[in-house]
Amino acid sequence: MSYNRPPGLPIVDAMTPPVLVLPGPLARDEVRGLSDEVRALLHGSGARVVVCDVAGLGPPGLAAVDLLARLQLAARRAGGRIRLRDPDPALRALLDLVGLRFEVEGEVEEREPALGVEEAVEPGDPAV
Domain count of the fold of the chain: 1
Q: Quote the crossing angle between the two packed helices 62-77 and 30-45, to the nearest 10°.
A: 30
Query: What is this structure's pTM?
Result: 0.71
Domain span including residue 30: 16-101
pLDDT tens-digit readout, 21-79: 998 777 778 888 999 999 999 988 888 999 999 998 888 888 899 999 999 999 999 99
Residue 116 lies in a domain: no
Q: Which distant-in-sequence residues (6+ apart) come within 8 Å of 115 by Cβ?
A: none
Residue 72 identity: Q
Per the CB < 8 A criterion, the answer to whether 91 and 61 are in contact is: no
Please state which of the ranges 6-10, 84-88, 92-96 shows the lowest mean pLDDT.
6-10
pLDDT at 119: 61
Residue 7 lies in a domain: no
CATH of the domain at 42: 3.30.750.24
